[in-house]
Amino acid sequence: MQAEEGPSDDLRTRLHAMESKLRRIWGQRDAHNESAKRAADSRNSVNEQGSELRESIKSRMGEQKDVRSQAKLHQARRDEIQKSIRELISNKKGRRGDGPGRSVVIQLSETVGEIERIENRIMTDGSLSLEKENSLIKKLRSLIARRDELIPEVEQQNIISIDLSDMDESINKLRAEADNEHTLMIEQNKLADEIWEEIKPMLEERDFLRGESDRLHSLFIGERGKADEAHKGGVELLSKVNEIRDEIKSQHQERERLIRDHNKSVREALRGPDEDENLAESLTERLLEGGSITFGGTVAEPNSEGQNENRSTKRQTRKLGTSRGRKR
C-alpha cells in the first residue's frame, strides 16, 4: 500500500504567496512606525526649542514691562511737578486754586506754612482769648494730621520740596526737576522700544516653531495611522496563514498515520510462528497428529519412498521364511 500524497501544490502555493505578502505588510508597518518615530522625535525637539524660546520671550517681555513701568513713573513725577509749577505761577499771580486736583507738593508746602504761622501766633500773641487759643489749637491739630498724610505721597513721588516764600526759586527748581524726569522717561521708553525690537524676531521664530510642530505632529498621526492599518491587515492575513498551516499539518499527520497503519499490516502479514502465538499453536497441533514441520511452518506428508522400502523389506522377510520350511 502506498502512503497518501501530501498537501496539494495549490495549498502550498497559496501559503507561500500569503507568507510573502505578510512579510511585505510587516515591512510596511515597520517602515510607517519608523517614520512616525522620526516625526515624533523631530516634533519633540521643535517643542523643546519652542519652550526655551518662550521662556526667553517671557523674560525679555518682563524686562520691558519693568522698563515701561519706570518710564510711566518718571512721567507721573514730571506731570506732578508741572502741576506744582502751574499752581505756583497761579499763586504768584494771586490766583490760588482749591480742590482735590491740586499738586500734593503745593498742598504740603501750604499746610506746613499754615502750621508754622499758627504755632508762631499761639506762642507770641498774648492777647488771644482762651476760646480763640483753643480754636487755633484745634485747627493746628487738623493741619498736622493733614501734613502727615501728604508727606508719604510727596516722598513716594520723589518730588523736591519747595519754599513758598521764594516762588521764583521754587519754580526754577521744579522746572529743572520736571526736565530731569522727562529725560528719564524718554530714556526708559527708548530702552523699552529696543527690547521690543529684540522680542519681535523671537515672536516670529516662536510662531514658525509652533507651525512646524503642528506639521510634524500631523505627520506623526498620519504615519501611525498607516502603521496601525497595516498591522490590522497583517493580523487578519496571519490568521488565514495559520489556518492553512494547520490544514497542512493536519494532512501531514494523517499521511503519517496511514503510513504507520500500512507498515503495521505488512509486518503482521510477514510474522513467523515465533512471533505469532496462534500460528505456533496451530502448527504444534498438526505435528502431534503425525505430520512433520518444514522451515516456514508448513506440514509435510510421510516420504513415499520410505514407505516403499518398508513394504519391500516385509515382503522379503516373508519369502525367506517360506524357503526354510520346505528344506525341513
Can you read off the three cell numbers belonging to residue 139?
485747627
Is pLDDT at 60 greater than 80 in this prediction? yes
Domain count, the chain: 2
- Cβ(147)–Cβ(73) below 8 Å: no
The residue ranking higher by pLDDT, 165 or 90, is 90
The verdict on 187 and 55 lying in the same domain is yes
Is pLDDT at 106 greater than 70 in this prediction? no
The verdict on 180 and 298 lying in the same domain is no
- Cβ(1)–Cβ(262) below 8 Å: yes
Q: For residue 1, what pLDDT is reported?
A: 43
Is pLDDT at 206 greater than 50 in this prediction? yes
Q: For residue 155, what pLDDT is reported?
A: 64
Packing angle of the helix pair 130-157, 9-92 (nearest 10 deg): 140
The verdict on 178 and 300 lying in the same domain is no
In a domain, 130, yes or no: no
In a domain, 82, yes or no: yes
The verdict on 313 and 171 lying in the same domain is no
The verdict on 226 and 305 lying in the same domain is no
The verdict on 189 and 310 lying in the same domain is no
Can you read off the three cell numbers belonging to residue 71?
518710564
Question: 298-325: per-residue pLDDT in tens?
Answer: 444 444 444 444 444 444 444 334 334 4
Containing domain of residue 314, as a range?
286-327
Strands (E) in 24-82, as ranges, are none
Q: What is the CATH number of the domain that holds 46?
A: 1.10.287
In a domain, 64, yes or no: yes
Nearest to 6 by CA among 266, 262, 253: 253
Other beta carbons within 10 Å of 30: 13
The verdict on 173 and 299 lying in the same domain is no
In a domain, 38, yes or no: yes
In a domain, 250, yes or no: no
In a domain, 119, yes or no: no
Radius of gyration of the chain (CA): 65
Packing angle of the helix pair 104-124, 9-92 (nearest 10 deg): 40
Q: Which of 233, 258, 275 is the last residue of a domain?
A: 233
In a domain, 132, yes or no: no
Distance CA(224)–CA(244), nearest Å, equals 30
Contact partners, residue 223, CB within 8 Å, separation at least 6: 32, 33, 35, 36, 39
In a domain, 120, yes or no: no
